[in-house]
Structure 1
Amino acid sequence: MNTNRRGFLGAVSTAALLSASGAAFGQKKYDDGATDKEIKIGHFCPYSGPASAYGVIGQAHQVFWKMVNETGGINGRKINFVTLDDGYNPSKSVEVTRQLVEQEKVLCLFNTLGTPTNTAIHKYVNQKKVPHLYVSTGASKWGDPKNFPWTMGFQPDYHTEGVIYAKHIVANVKDPKIAVLMQNDDYGKDYYGGFREGLGKDADKLIVKHVTYETTDPTVDSQVIQLKDSGANVFFNIAIPKFAAQAIRKAGDLGWKPAQYLNNVSASVASTMKPAGFENSQGIITAAYLMDPTDKQWDGHDDMKAWRAYMTKYMPQANQSDANYIFAYSVATMMKRTLEKCGDLLTRENVMKQAASFRGEKIPLVLPGITISTSATDFYPIQAVQLATFKTDTWELFGDVMHAESS
């Protein structure tokens, strides 16, 4: 694990950024995937398989880059967005990544989804020196520029999110007896490691049951029965949407009513909470860094109004209560601004340089009070969250925005 990872405790203008990269304009230089007319970007996500609820992210990206092309492209160049289905299968991820890099010859990879899947290609893309940007996973390993200088995350890291839940439990639940459901891979282990760190020396005493599941399992019903039978009064749900929803629903069916904590990656109302049943989801706590489309407090916000207009025009059939579309729009905007800063110097090295030079950037739909900053030694763009609880049919934010500072 990267020892330079920041923890949550407790935001320089775009003009400055552009002036810093101004040298890129006026001199043309290209690597694979870039020409006078085109920038080719590679992507994979699970359009099929156990994590297919995330397939809407890839669909949203396709539409976003189509919109960019229709409105003039980036510095006069059209985006050629090549997206492939890896089924959330690491061996398939390796196969499609090789196709993107060696056959398609993309300039960079963007927002490839999944911790186990990105882990499978991590060393390869760094050996090939291909920018591996804004990966769609919060594993703490993506912020390690010393050892993996071509890979950068986007969202707050799982380890620290786990720490936050643990500290909230200790401060707010009397005599906590904690049950944990965990996906049995690096994604689950990252959350669980942070969670144990947050509990401190009492972790073994406070966690009364810890069970895992495989993505090939049909359900997690038997695991949830084990968790309930442990006598736990707290449930930490470390699962992707399909299994997170199953677990919440099963707990409700069993009449088990612990204090529930749900990892952010499954907090979509449309893909998790609604399938779980709103009646089973009341009071669940998560950590947020993006505006939730079902939270009415954002209805009058300029970002949300612009996003809804965009969605209505370009994705009229999409379910606007699915937070995955919010995530996709926000992270794609980050990629668009990175490429804009590259100017005519479209080399892989310059793409990484520009990705690592954001200062207090405001990206659409990120919660107020949270900005994006990166540097050559800081590959964690978003390092703040706010807790939220599920009430009726939406998430309700509470408490302060927790900012990050160097550990």
Structure 2
Amino acid sequence: MQKRQFITVLSSAILASVSGLARAQRSGTPGVTDREIKIGQTLPLSGPAASYATTGKALAAWFEFVNAEGGVNGRKLSLVQLDDGYSPPKAVEHSRRLVEREQVAFVVMPVGTPTGVAARGYFNSVKVPQLFIGSGAATWLDDVAKFPWSLGWQPLFTDEGRTLAKHILQTRPNAKIAVLYQNDDAGKDLLRGLKIGLGASVKQIVREESHEVTDPTVDSQIVTMQASGADVLVMWGSPKATIQSLRKANDIGWKPMIYINQNSSSVPTVLTPVGLDKAKGVISAAFLKDPADPTWKNDRQLLAWAAFMDKYNAGTPKDYNAVYGTCIAQTTVQVLKQCGNDLSRDNIVRQTRRLDIELPMMLPGLRIKTSDTRPHPVTELRLQQFDGTSWKLMSA
């Protein structure tokens, strides 16, 4: 190439680069260029809640799939994930790093109630969206006016508690109920919703026990609750605590009706380690299709999801948590599509209030529909019971 041609080509490249940078700067949103949208996430890749890491792996895989298809409105999605170990102080530290050092446009699906609550004040002070938090704590809806930059996604734990209470009253009106709950906002919301749902029958709760997510075991709590004479056990906790609870109840010969929370209902990662025969009869609320349920083995949408997982997320369990991460990724992509070229943080939050979509892996009949007065994306649940092999949707 001649010198003059080289200079012309180089000048054109520099001008194009400067022009693109100028447009990105005019957008006013860090992490957004003509070619990229940079997104952050904090989650427990290690520590006592590391089983939730599957959700983040599925989120990253869906973004990779979208990028392979051309991205969103011509922009590729770049995801920065940081391990907070389910520690609130670490979550705050990493949230600041994502915003101030990594320069992400927003954060999506930070996993956990205590970690999400700890970082919420920071995100709202700097007006950076904290979207689709991996938690069903009622605070995401109750305090939305105070913290407008923070938004949950899944059904609230209070709604889950009310749903379980309704079923208990319908099927065992004279039940003696024991509750084992994680000692944080999420577990307390479940307990609060359960009590609201029981109403005048709240006195049927004969024992309440809490546990910390860092506790090495919950065996002593299970023994104490058996001694209370309870014939119904409601458990809310991490997959680890749920596995321990089901094992201990079986080991001591306690056979109450058992309800477990949706976040810890995975067949491969929770019920299989317990022993499928030992988990028979357990009930849980649900709003997503469970890949381990033979009901969906020929479902076209689940088969398409499984093929995606095989290609983009090989080695990660195709379980309930992976479905959860995929659905939040799909919701995030829809928000960004609706934003068009207005990727200001204000508009990103605004579009979360303009959703009207059905996701392939949600249970039939359930839909995401949001508005300014109803900003929470998923609000409904269905009950399911484990038959020793798979989850079966219940009519009641």
**Normalized against structure 2, the TM-score is what?**
0.91
Provide the secondary structure at the position in 1 that maps to 2:151: coil
Query: What are the residue-to-residue correspondences of 1:64-103 with 2, within 5 Å?
Result: 64-103=62-101
Task: Report the AA paired with residue 170 of structure 1.
Answer: L
Query: What are the residue-to-residue correspondences of 1:185-196 with 2, within 5 Å?
Result: 185-196=184-195
Return the match for 2:244 from 236, 243, 246.
Answer: 246
Q: 1:271 maps to which residue?
A: 269
Residues of 2 paired with 1:34 and 1:316: CA distance?
29
Q: 1:324 maps to which residue?
A: 321
Q: More displaced, 85-94 or 65-74?
A: 65-74
Residues of 1 paired with 2:114 and 2:132: CA distance?
15
Q: 1:114 maps to which residue?
A: 112
Query: What are the residue-to-residue correspondences of 1:279-290 with 2, within 5 Å?
Result: 279-290=277-288
What are structure 2's unaligned runs of at least 5 residues?
Answer: 1-25
Residues of 2 paired with 1:262 and 1:96: CA distance?
31
Residues of 2 paired with 1:179 and 1:282: CA distance?
19
Residues of 1 paired with 2:296 and 2:201: CA distance?
39
Structure 1: 4+ residue segments shifted above 4 A: none
Provide the secondary structure at the position in 2 that maps to 1:179: strand
Residues 142 and 379 of structure 1 are in contact (CA less than 8 Å); yes or no, is this contact kept in structure 2? no
Residues 268 and 292 of structure 2 are in contact (CA less than 8 Å); yes or no, is this contact kept in structure 1? no
Residues of 2 paired with 1:63 and 1:239: CA distance?
26
Provide the secondary structure at the position in 2 that maps to 1:282: coil
Deviation at 1:319, TM superposition (A): 2.2
Deviation at 1:70, TM superposition (A): 1.8
Return the match for 1:61 from 54, 59, 62.
Answer: 59
Residues of 2 paired with 1:104 and 1:372: CA distance?
31
Residues 146 and 377 of structure 1 are in contact (CA less than 8 Å); yes or no, is this contact kept in structure 2? no
Q: 2:10 maps to which residue?
A: none
Residues of 1 paired with 2:216 and 2:174: CA distance?
34
Deviation at 1:117, TM superposition (A): 0.5
Residues of 1 paired with 2:380 and 2:276: CA distance?
27
Return the match for 1:335 from 332, 335, 349.
Answer: 332
Q: More displaced, 278-287 or 91-100?
A: 278-287
Q: 2:395 maps to which residue?
A: 399
Residues of 1 paired with 2:95 and 2:149: CA distance?
15
Task: Report the AA paired with residue 276 of structure 1.
Answer: V
Provide the secondary structure at the position in 2 that maps to 1:346: coil
Task: Report the AA paired with residue 246 of structure 2.
Answer: I
Residues of 2 paired with 1:243 and 1:148: CA distance?
31
Q: Does 1:163 align with 2:159?
A: no
Q: Does 1:370 align with 2:366?
A: yes
Residues of 1 paired with 2:72 and 2:173: CA distance?
54
Residues 295 and 392 of structure 2 are in contact (CA less than 8 Å); yes or no, is this contact kept in structure 1? no
Deviation at 1:315, TM superposition (A): 2.0
Task: Report the AA paired with residue 383 of structure 1.
Answer: T
Residues of 2 paired with 1:114 and 1:387: CA distance?
23
Residues of 1 paired with 2:55 and 2:228: CA distance?
37
Residues of 1 paired with 2:167 and 2:335: CA distance?
36
Residues of 2 paired with 1:53 and 1:133: CA distance?
21
Task: Report the AA paired with residue 37 of structure 2.
Answer: I
Task: Report the AA paired with residue 307 of structure 1.
Answer: W
Deviation at 1:228, TM superposition (A): 0.7
Instruction: Write the deviation string for residues 75-104 of structure 1: whole angstroms up to 9, x where unpaired.
Output: 111111000000001010000001011111
Deviation at 1:163, TM superposition (A): 0.8
Task: Report the AA paired with residue 262 of structure 2.
Answer: N
Q: Which has the larger radius of gyration?
A: 2
Q: Does 1:353 align with 2:353?
A: no
Provide the secondary structure at the position in 2 that maps to 1:245: helix
Q: More displaced, 214-223 or 57-66?
A: 57-66
Residues of 1 paired with 2:264 and 2:377: CA distance?
20
Residues of 1 paired with 2:28 and 2:251: CA distance?
58
Q: More displaced, 222-231 or 271-280?
A: 271-280
Task: Report the AA paired with residue 149 of structure 1.
Answer: P
Aligned-residue sequence identity (percent) comes to 42
Larger relative CO (CA 8 A, sep 6+): 1 or 2? 1
Residues of 1 paired with 2:352 and 2:185: CA distance?
25
Residues 59 and 328 of structure 2 are in contact (CA less than 8 Å); yes or no, is this contact kept in structure 1? no
Deviation at 1:174, TM superposition (A): 4.5
Residues 145 and 377 of structure 1 are in contact (CA less than 8 Å); yes or no, is this contact kept in structure 2? no
Residues 57 and 313 of structure 2 are in contact (CA less than 8 Å); yes or no, is this contact kept in structure 1? no
Residues of 1 paired with 2:101 and 2:307: CA distance?
37
Residues of 2 paired with 1:202 and 1:295: CA distance?
34
Q: Does 1:181 align with 2:141?
A: no
Q: Aligned residues, how many?
A: 370
Provide the secondary structure at the position in 2 that maps to 1:353: helix
Deviation at 1:275, TM superposition (A): 1.6
After superposition, the CA RMSD in angstroms is 1.2
Task: Report the AA paired with residue 370 of structure 1.
Answer: L
Residues 113 and 135 of structure 1 are in contact (CA less than 8 Å); yes or no, is this contact kept in structure 2? yes
Task: Report the AA paired with residue 337 of structure 1.
Answer: Q
Q: 1:404 maps to which residue?
A: none
Deviation at 1:340, TM superposition (A): 1.1
Instruction: Write the deviation string for residues 167-211 of structure 1: whole angstroms up to 9, x where unpaired.
Output: 1111111421001111111111011111111111331x2111111
**Normalized against structure 1, the TM-score is what?**
0.89
Provide the secondary structure at the position in 1 that maps to 2:159: helix
Residues of 2 paired with 1:60 and 1:293: CA distance?
14
Q: Identify if the C-alpha distance between structure 1 residues 174 and 197 changes in structure 2 by more than 3 Å, giving closer, same or farther.
A: closer
Provide the secondary structure at the position in 1 that maps to 2:79: strand
Task: Report the AA paired with residue 38 of structure 2.
Answer: K
Q: 1:34 maps to which residue?
A: 32
Q: More displaced, 59-68 or 378-387?
A: 59-68
Task: Report the AA paired with residue 338 of structure 2.
Answer: K
Instruction: Write the deviation string for residues 381-400 of structure 1: whole angstroms up to 9, x where unpaired.
Output: 11111110011221100116
Residues 57 and 316 of structure 2 are in contact (CA less than 8 Å); yes or no, is this contact kept in structure 1? no
Task: Report the AA paired with residue 181 of structure 1.
Answer: L
